[in-house]
Chain A
Amino acid sequence: MQTTSPSFPSNARQALADPDLQQALTKMKVGFVVNRANAVAKLPEFDTLRDEGRDIKNHVLSNLDTYLERFEAKVTENGGHVHWCRTADEARRTILDICRSVDAKTVTKGKSMIGEEIGINDFLEENGVTPVETDLGEYIIQLRKEPPSHIIAPAIHVPKEKVAESFFETHDQLDADRNLDEPRALVDEARSMLRQKYLDADVGITGANFLIAETGSTVIVTNEGNGDLTQTLPKIHIVTASLEKIVPTLEDASTILRLLARSATGQEFSSYTTFSTGPRRPEDADGPEQFHVVLLDNGRSALLGTEFQDILRCIRCGACMNHCPVYGAVGGHAYGWVYPGPMGAVLTPTLIGVDQAAHLPNASTFCGKCQQVCPMHIPLPKLMRHYRERAFERGLTPGTLRAGLKMWAFFARRPRLYQFFAGLKMRALAAAGRRRGRFKSLPLAGGWTRHRDMPAPQGATFQQQWDAAGGAR
């Protein structure tokens, strides 16, 4: 997928001025946050399960080779195939080859972030295979030719009137005077339009929430049932999964499943959780004849043993973005690639390079809420800070910022000088701002005062107040 991450600042400005988006985000901040809090409150064991979930993933990451080999052996034993792919390009070609082996015309797709990451839809289309997204949100954004703006609610930015617009335009065989005012009518129309597509498709592609080493199973978690129709009806089921999705046993998957839906939508369990193990058995009446797992690395193995390894625990619940004040203000598209919000701010520089995505780790107030709600205890602010450091080391930080930091560092290493000038500045600002109590504009601080007032200092620095209050040194 093409990135617009380098233009995050202008993307964000546009997003702030988009009334539809702002309305959708306002709704999201209430819905997801309240629902999650309610679900967590109903499970007293939630925090213990978080610790256990983190430990499972840490254990897997320190034995990833063994678990992947075990998984592969099991898939093969069950009659399936595992395809190892280093890059997005290898994954795309592998999928196309499988499609071509049965002369596939159409491919149905369950929602998959790996599918977005490797840009599979455009690639298939360019090569004469028509991909049909079946998750309602993904279907909507496919019609609108947009990328997802949220990892679990891809069309969260689209108001229902715009959905109706796309449906009128695309489903032009239907009565032009039909009523599509309400979500119910839209859902019913998508259901009936996609029905035949499931039955006609030659290949079904889904993602995976988990891979199980014990059994060679792949797991999808959905609410609509589209993923199950996608993987049950066509001749071939292709699973796209990144390699860190693996867990040892069905029990380990169950532990993490207790965290997933609650963190994501606030449900106790999603409507459908499906464990798929190989192709149709000889005596089965239905199910795919072929079962392929496209196992994608795309830079993840290089994170093992580094300070960024923790991001590989991510289970893609979306809680970090649901609770993020920056995501809540600008939405997902501003981030400019597949993964938005705090997890995206860490994963995107990893996958497309810090030079492309240097803005993203800065798109954070470091309020820490993302880490607080992360079911896998990923220290997201710390990881973003590592990327800020990298960007600085590589000279990607703007010159003015570098000069400012250099000046600050000069004083910070000379405490007497620092305290002297800080004290001087506080007294000056206090005197200048005494009348109004705040500043509408300040030299060198336009970035701040353009959007809000700066409160006037009270005349003493923090260190002076600390000493005055008898604080320990």
Chain B
Amino acid sequence: MTDSARARAQILGMIRKGKASQTPDGQSPDERIDAKRRGTIPARVDKDHAALVELFVDHATALSATVSRVDDESEIPGAVADYLAGENLPATLCAAPDPALQALPWDTRPALTVRYGRSDGADEVSLTPAFAAVAETGTLMLRSGPDHPTTLNFLPDTHVVVLRESQIVGPYEEAWDRLRAAGPIPRAVNFVSGPSRTADIEQTIQLGAHGPRRLHIVLVQDGEGESDGG
């Protein structure tokens, strides 16, 4: 028996010994895992979709993210270029090799240089899709994969995220449901709420500790909830 196997047997033995003196609570672990029962969902997300979109924007901006809204995805390159110009940032992006991003009309903004791939630490600005967004706390859900390298979420100074209104859900649990429906769980699921921050020096909040200093969300209206959207 290897050391780890011996340790495993002994630890599990100790646990079972301790368990023997407890009364079982009647829930089987397998059943519990299969049931994926939700806890209490905060009432703040008990809203129609248009209101959830507004709730997401309110929460995200309160966390120091910035949001620009466009009516159609053809306007995304313009929104990205305008944001970068407004912040005096270089018009050079490292973008996720996501087919939907690649299909955008980037040639309408010839001043923008777009490269696709992972970041090696030299990129100042990244552009990625989002998988979903959680209105409950203004949180983006990003999913790793060939179309979305994780380094883009953390290495560049400025992270620009394209989010469609239809991707916004109320609580985290709905984002999990969508993730499970989309296939096996990816290597990394990153929930991102605003830019990087720290309060480690004298409890004063500073943005941009190690991750992005700026988080900008380009929010695209894409049908769902448009009739009563605010």
Which residues of chain A are within 8 angstroms of B201 by Cβ–Cβ distance? 136, 140, 155, 158, 160, 163, 183, 186-187
Interface residues of B in 161-218 (CB under 8 A from A): 171-173, 176, 185-204, 206, 208-212
Q: Which of A44, A53, A155 contacts B43 (CB 8 A)?
A: A44
Q: Determine whether A442 belongs to the interface, using a CB cutoff of 8 Å to chain B.
A: no
A257 to B43, CA, bound (A): 17
Q: Which of B24, B97, B139 contacts A269 (CB 8 A)?
A: B139
Complex contact B210–A226 (CB within 8 A): yes
Interface residues of B in 69-120 (CB under 8 A from A): 97, 117-118, 120
Q: Determine whether A96 belongs to the interface, using a CB cutoff of 8 Å to chain B.
A: no
> Which of A6-14, A302-310, A379-387, A409-417 forms contacts with chain B?
A302-310
In the complex formed, the residue of B with least CB distance to A56 is B39
Minimal beta-carbon separation of A66 from chain B (angstroms):
4
Q: Determine whether A240 belongs to the interface, using a CB cutoff of 8 Å to chain B.
A: no
Minimal beta-carbon separation of A468 from chain B (angstroms):
47
Q: Determine whether A38 belongs to the interface, using a CB cutoff of 8 Å to chain B.
A: no
Q: Determine whether A117 belongs to the interface, using a CB cutoff of 8 Å to chain B.
A: no
Q: Which of B186, B192, B206 contacts A277 (CB 8 A)?
A: B186
Residues of B within 8 Å of A, CB-based: how many?
A: 80
Encode A252-294 as 1/0 by CB contact (under 8 A) with B: 1011011000000101111111111111110111110000000
Which residues of chain B are within 8 angstroms of A140 by Cβ–Cβ distance? 200-201
Q: Which of A62, A66, A285 contacts B25 (CB 8 A)?
A: A62
Complex contact A287–B203 (CB within 8 A): no
Counting contact residues on chain A (CB < 8 A from B), the size range is: 35 or more
Q: Determine whether A243 belongs to the interface, using a CB cutoff of 8 Å to chain B.
A: yes
Minimal beta-carbon separation of A137 from chain B (angstroms):
4
Q: Determine whether A58 belongs to the interface, using a CB cutoff of 8 Å to chain B.
A: yes
Q: Determine whether A169 belongs to the interface, using a CB cutoff of 8 Å to chain B.
A: no
Interface residues of A in 210-240 (CB under 8 A from B): 213-215, 217, 223-226, 228-229, 232-233
Interface residues of A in 151-205 (CB under 8 A from B): 153-156, 158-160, 163, 183-184, 186-188, 190-191, 194-195, 198-199
Complex contact A257–B172 (CB within 8 A): yes
> Which of A81-89, A337-345, A389-397, A398-406 forms contacts with chain B?
A81-89
Q: Which of A84, A224, A297 contacts B196 (CB 8 A)?
A: A224
Q: Given A274-B188, A276-B187, A304-B18, decide whether A225 and B11 contact each other with a Cβ distance below 8 A.
A: no
Which residues of chain B are within 8 angstroms of A255 by Cβ–Cβ distance? 38-40
Complex contact A286–B149 (CB within 8 A): yes
Q: Determine whether A134 belongs to the interface, using a CB cutoff of 8 Å to chain B.
A: yes
A286 to B190, CA, bound (A): 14
Which residues of chain A are within 8 angstroms of B39 by Cβ–Cβ distance? 49, 52-53, 56, 251-252, 254-255, 258
Q: Determine whether A440 belongs to the interface, using a CB cutoff of 8 Å to chain B.
A: no
A277 to B150, CA, bound (A): 13
Interface residues of B in 141-166 (CB under 8 A from A): 144-146, 149-151, 153-155
> Which of B28-36, B48-56, B222-230 forms contacts with chain A?
B28-36
Which residues of chain B are within 8 angstroms of A213 by Cβ–Cβ distance? 29, 33
Complex contact A224–B18 (CB within 8 A): no
Which residues of chain A are within 8 angstroms of B40 by Cβ–Cβ distance? 45, 48-49, 52, 255
Complex contact A248–B11 (CB within 8 A): no
Q: Given A228-B154, A251-B173, A285-B149, decide whether A65 and B15 contact each other with a Cβ distance below 8 A.
A: yes
Complex contact B15–A64 (CB within 8 A): yes
Which residues of chain A are within 8 angstroms of B194 by Cβ–Cβ distance? 271
Q: Determine whether A419 belongs to the interface, using a CB cutoff of 8 Å to chain B.
A: no
Complex contact B118–A45 (CB within 8 A): no
Which residues of chain A are within 8 angstroms of B151 by Cβ–Cβ distance? 232-233, 285-286
Q: Which residues of B contact A (CB under 8 A)?
A: 3-5, 7-8, 10-12, 14-22, 24-25, 27, 29-30, 32-33, 36-40, 42-44, 59, 63, 97, 117-118, 120-121, 137, 139, 144-146, 149-151, 153-155, 171-173, 176, 185-204, 206, 208-212
Extra contacts, 13 of them, besides A45-B43, A225-B210, A249-B32 (Cβ < 8 A), are: A52-B39, A67-B29, A70-B33, A155-B201, A191-B210, A198-B121, A223-B198, A226-B210, A251-B37, A285-B97, A285-B146, A297-B14, A302-B14
A-B contact pairs, 30 of them (CB 8 A): A27-B202, A43-B44, A59-B32, A63-B19, A64-B15, A66-B29, A83-B4, A84-B7, A136-B210, A137-B198, A163-B201, A183-B204, A187-B198, A190-B209, A223-B199, A224-B197, A224-B210, A225-B209, A225-B212, A226-B211, A250-B176, A251-B176, A254-B38, A257-B172, A271-B63, A273-B193, A275-B189, A276-B188, A303-B18, A305-B21
